[in-house]
Amino acid sequence: MKARIYITLKEGVHDPQGEATLGTLKHLGFDGVDSVRVGKYIELNLNDLPKSKAEEQVKAMCEKLLANTVIESYEFEIE
């Protein structure tokens, strides 16, 4: 079973890495980009668990370690 976790900064949180990426893209001639937000992608390979148990554990992992829930949001999918 695989979990894919997407972590992004919450709306309104300053994103210096996104701003730097935007500046570089514009410098490279990609003028059609208005803004960039940079996040994290985490992929976990899980032991065979019932899907509900896997979802419960991944949520706990995000809340306790993987995401800073004060400034970041997360979502995940399990396959």
Tell whether the torsion through CA atoms of 27, 28, 32 and 36 is positive or negative: negative
| Segment 8-24, tens digit of pLDDT | 999 999 999 999 999 99
| DSSP SS3 for 48 | coil
| Segment 22-62, tens digit of pLDDT | 999 999 999 999 999 999 999 999 998 999 999 999 999 99
Which stretches does DSSP call E strand in 19-71?
40-45
Angle in degrees, CA 15, 9, 3, rounded to 5: 135
Q: Which amino acid is at 45?
A: N
Contact 10, 69 (CB under 8 A): no
Q: Which residues pair with 42 in a beta bridge?
A: 5
Architecture of domain 2-78: 2-Layer Sandwich (3.30)
